[in-house]
Chains A and B, each alone.
Chain A
Amino acid sequence: MIIYGVALLSVCLLVGQFTGELLGQWLGVQANVGGVGIAMLLLVVVCESPRLAVLVKGAAGEGIRFWSAMYIPIVVAMAASQNVVAAVNGGMLAIVAAVVAVVLSFALVPVLSRSANASSQHDSATPGADS
């Protein structure tokens, strides 16, 4: 049943968001702390559990796969409803701060992911061959 998968997805998101809200309150932060991330972990765990297979096998899985395939169109709609005017007219301070922050963050990606790959590949028989 397709609705099993869709319902599972909904419950994961709701439980994740709720946990994120509680975590935020507990830490004294006025924000949801990782609600979506917790929901994703929950979904991954359910998918790997053999006892809950009925919720993700066959048609039920299609209910989740459909939303996963809708992800890009939803992101396109999200892009179309951003406050781009404010970003373009942001003034020099906002633009300089954002550009420098983004460029430096981009530059750090290969540095940190190299150490991620190094720490997961203990059999370093081929040094320098970063995958």
Chain B
Amino acid sequence: MTPPQAAAARSSVAQCGRLSLRHRIIFIAVTVLVAAAVAYRGSSAGRNAPASLSGVGMTAAPSRAPDRSPAFSSSWITPVGHTESAHSCSVCLLPGGDLLAVWFGGTREGAADVALFTSRLVAGSAAWSAPVRVVDRESAQRELGRSIRKVGNAVIFPDGQGNVGMVYVTVTFGGWSGSALNYKVSRDAGQTWGPSRRLGINPLFNLSSLVRNQPIRASDGRIGLPIYHEMARTFPQLLWLTPAADGDLSQYLVRSLPGSQHLIQPSLVPLENGRVLMVLRDHGSAGRMQSAFSDDRGWTWSPAVSGDLPNPDAAVDAIRVSDGRLVLVYNDSTRGRENLRLAVSSDAGRTWRPGPVVEDEAKQEFSYPCLVEDARGRIHLTYTWKRQRIKHVEFNLAWLDQQMREGQSASP
């Protein structure tokens, strides 16, 4: 401040001094009144642990008795040459029985031409629909009203209000640690999508929030979406979304897993009696898949511990299937993503028994798996195939049990 300004400021400060007793009382009264009104408006509804959970995008109760004869098939979600690179597919079961998949594709991961695509597998059909471009850098920039450099991982899920929600990653500056999350909704089961909305997750410039796996759903309608933080310190978080009837979000909040480090891409499995299992990608040096448990429907979590299964710093996914067992898909290696294997747990995720190998080819990548079970008891697995295409594998529990008994590879 220059001398004349400083002098002016000094004289006016001398006038303002400290608040008079009268003004103190008035301000305190106004504060109390405003706080009461604001606190009443922002009541604690939706800010406590959910009373109970229901499945969302995870397990659908079979509408009929599961097949007794083994069934296994595979198909492609992305046509040949659709994009040079395709990665990070997420798939969900829509209320009508269709499967809807979303992934990102372009010349390479992180390139400016990368876009999000969706494809649909109509219930009873064998072929996926042609990919539909739903978000790209330009549309995200336009809808979010800010600079967008690239788009990344996306997850889609029914929001329980008859709509389909999508949470996806965008980056304005830097790499993936500079990412932020955005929400958009489809009111016609994924045919068309509404505008995007930025989600405020992080206090430091709202940077470094990413998403990978399917959410759980509380019986009060809230959706618990597993997300993770990647800047300086990597740790999992749960984003609790409260969808409104009009498809927008009426509220959301984030809960971090305290004390956890080097753990990303959490996958949630709702179990009995409000217990939830979280399996995690090990982003550190342990080389082991990590697990944590919640006994209050995903609100608070135990510290994560290493399990027996290896993890080469790669995404895993798990679901609870109709007979109560858990099915996991993972890379059976401490380094590299050259194979993809299933494992089964009959004790709610405490131990895992390795099962059939779905893919195995040296110097190739099979990664970012996603599991969902449909109403017929068929388990659908989607994953990145050699970074070129998105593959879909469908099997039933009879096939899985047969493979577990015989210890065979699933690949033809």
Is this pair of chains taken from one and the same complex?
no
Binding site for B on A (CB under 8 A): none
